[in-house]
Amino acid sequence: MKKYLFIIVLLALVFSCKSENRPPKPSNLISKDKMEKILYDLYVINAAKGVNRKLLEDKGIVPESYVLNKHQIDSTQFAQSNAYYAYDPDLYKIMVEKIKARLEKDKEAYEDAEKKASKEAKRRRDSINRVNEKRRDSIKKALKKEVSNS
């Protein structure tokens, strides 16, 4: 009997703890697409901040303010919209997955551009090395001719 009473009390506690404290839909809710763009920019700028914070400080850039100004929103509007979207973890996960896919796509594009630039730089260095080698060879030939003529 105690076992059943314990289970009933436990179930009552579990179900009574569930509350619908969903944030109210803000009157100035940021659209889902725009919110994804804002979150993307925040992820990128936070990564940049982690890599070279000093450079941003020297240029007088405050990352969060920069993103909010870029998208013409204020911090309250962002906080309310973020809380509203974050309350639904499935929706938020979908948004984050889209952002992640976009970041991966951009990363691949930058890596491809870096590889291309690296190949171009190597080709230029090789070309310069070949010219210098020909120059050294021609100087050696000229010196050998001069020595043999002497």
- Residue 6 pLDDT: 59
Q: How many domains does the chain have?
A: 1
On the 0-12 / 13-18 / 19+ scale of CB atoms within 10 A, 81 is: buried
* Alpha carbon of residue 77 to chain centroid: 23
Q: Is residue 72 part of a domain?
A: yes
pLDDT along the chain (150 residues), means of 10: 61 58 84 93 84 80 85 91 90 93 92 87 82 77 72
Q: Is residue 13 part of a domain?
A: no
Q: Is residue 12 part of a domain?
A: no
Q: Is residue 66 part of a domain?
A: yes
Give the residue numbers spanning the domain of 39. 24-87
Q: Is residue 10 part of a domain?
A: no
Q: Is residue 35 part of a domain?
A: yes
Q: Is residue 117 part of a domain?
A: no
Amino acid (1-letter code) at residue 119: K
Contacts of 34 (CB under 8 A, 6+ apart): 71
- Residue 95 pLDDT: 93
Q: Is residue 39 part of a domain?
A: yes
pTM of the predicted protein model: 0.64
Q: How many CB atoms lie within 10 A of CB 91?
A: 13
